[in-house]
């Protein structure tokens, strides 16, 4: 069996059918890519908003009644599933009921973007779905590294998984009505925006991956903003310190906390383009 690779796809490269199919091609082209992390659907050709932003809007609407934006979110997943040939109606009905049940829980509602994207990708790939709430320990927006690493010990590194980024959970203990025993429940909690990168990083060190591949919709790390400079050049390789300086200057290629998690891990980080992979990417050594 090839060495395990953790691969993460960002929202902008998972906006539509084209992005899903390209991501699947990348995953299935290498037996080592057995652990996949996905962000929620992003902006694409047929979508002008990110699913995460739509869910934030839906939360506000639900506090006052019904939400047309929630309907829009679920219809977008329904349309994408139909294009991919994946049966997904039951999952969307179930998720709608859960969102209405938790209409006052902002973190729960927002997390459904990653949850549904991971569910859909797992079905499309034929991989096992992992609910991030059972593995990623997050409290007050901070990743609980030790607890999270312990949660990953139960996984078979030779199996194939898909997990949603950006969210996790923490344990809440409540007294039963009799008052004698404590009942443990999970409370959904979010990482900061871009936290799917962190999910990929902690999965990489927990599973002792050889490589953490982070796919976006641009060519690796570039020496200027490609949206403003079409002639921007991609760095073939960078040290951790060099990338840290670039991120500190405001570049949003990858979440800066990934570098802290991967520090001294020996895991190679590769930042690549979902739509033109393995051509102009950036390798970062730790």
What is the Cα–Cα distance from 75 to 240, expressed in whole angstroms?
A: 41
Residue 189: in which H helix or E strand, if any?
strand 182-190
pLDDT tens profile 200-237? 999 999 999 999 999 999 899 998 877 778 788 999 99
**Which of 192, 213, 185 lies closest to 201, judged by CA?**
213
- The arithmetic mean of pLDDT across residues 229-248, rounded, is 91
27 Cβ partners below 8 Å, 6+ apart? Answer: 7, 33, 36, 125
Domain 5-285 has CATH 3.40.1160.10: yes
What is the Cα–Cα distance from 124 to 250, expressed in whole angstroms?
A: 35
Domain range summary for the chain, segments of one domain joined by +: 5-285
pLDDT tens profile 174-185? 777 666 666 678
**Which of 210, 286, 285 lies closest to 7, judged by CA?**
210
pTM of this prediction exceeds 0.85: yes
What is the Cα–Cα distance from 214 to 197, expressed in whole angstroms?
A: 7
What is the Cα–Cα distance from 10 to 14, expressed in whole angstroms?
A: 7
**DSSP string of 210-246, one letter each residue:** SEEEEEESS-SSBSS-TTT-TT--B-SEEEHHHHHHH
Structure tokens at 194: 């871009």
pLDDT tens profile 61-97? 998 888 999 999 999 999 999 999 999 999 999 999 9
Beta strand 5-9 with 211-216: parallel, antiparallel or unpaired? parallel
Average pLDDT of the chain, as a whole number = 93
User: How far are the Cα atoms of 172, 184, 186 from residue 177, in angstroms, in the given order?
Assistant: 16, 14, 18
pLDDT tens profile 138-160? 988 899 999 999 999 999 989 99
pLDDT of residue 179: 64
Structure tokens at 57: 């809007």
Question: Of all residues in the chain, what percent carry a pLDDT higher than 90?
Answer: 80
- The arithmetic mean of pLDDT across residues 187-201, rounded, is 95
Count CA atoms closer than 13 A to 285's CA, side-chain side: 4
**Under a CB-based contact definition with an 8 Å cutoff, are residues 74 and 95 in contact?**
yes
DSSP helix/strand/coil, 212 = strand
What is the Cα–Cα distance from 271 to 8, expressed in whole angstroms?
A: 10
pLDDT of residue 113: 98
**Under a CB-based contact definition with an 8 Å cutoff, are residues 79 and 71 in contact?**
no
Looking up tokens 């500190």 gives: 248
Structure tokens at 87: 């049966």
């Amino acid at each position: 069996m090839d060495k395990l690779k953790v691969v993460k796809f960002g929202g902008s490269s998972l906006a539509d059918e084209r992005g899903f199919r390209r991501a699947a091609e990348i995953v299935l082209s290498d037996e080592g890519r057995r652990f996949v992390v996905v962000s929620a659907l992003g902006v694409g050709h047929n979508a002008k908003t990110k699913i995460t932003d739509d869910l934030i809007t839906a939360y506000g609407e639900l506090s006052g009644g019904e939400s047309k934006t929630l309907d829009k979110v679920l219809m977008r997943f329904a349309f994408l599933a139909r294009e991919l040939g994946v049966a997904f109606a039951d999952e969307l009905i179930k998720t709608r009921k859960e969102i209405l049940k938790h209409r006052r829980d902002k973190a729960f509602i927002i997390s459904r973007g990653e949850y549904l994207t991971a569910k859909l990708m797992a079905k499309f790939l034929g991989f096992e779905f992992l609910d991030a709430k059972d593995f990623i320990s997050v409290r007050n927006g901070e990743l609980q590294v030790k607890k999270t690493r312990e949660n990953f010990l139960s996984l078979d590194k030779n199996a194939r998984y898909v997990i949603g980024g950006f969210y996790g959970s923490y344990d809440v203990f409540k007294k039963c009505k009799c008052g004698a025993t404590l009942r443990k429940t999970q409370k959904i909690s979010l990482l900061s925006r871009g936290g799917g990168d962190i999910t990929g990083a902690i999965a990489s060190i927990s599973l002792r991956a050889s490589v953490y591949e982070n796919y976006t919709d641009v060519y690796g790390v570039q020496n200027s903003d490609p949206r403003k400079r079409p002639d921007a050049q991609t760095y073939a390789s960078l040290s951790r310190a060099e990338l840290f300086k670039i991120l500190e200057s405001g570049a949003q290629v990858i979440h800066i906390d990934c570098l802290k998690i991967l520090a001294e891990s020996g895991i190679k980080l590769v930042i690549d383009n979902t739509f033109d992979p393995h051509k102009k990417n950036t390798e970062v050594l730790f």
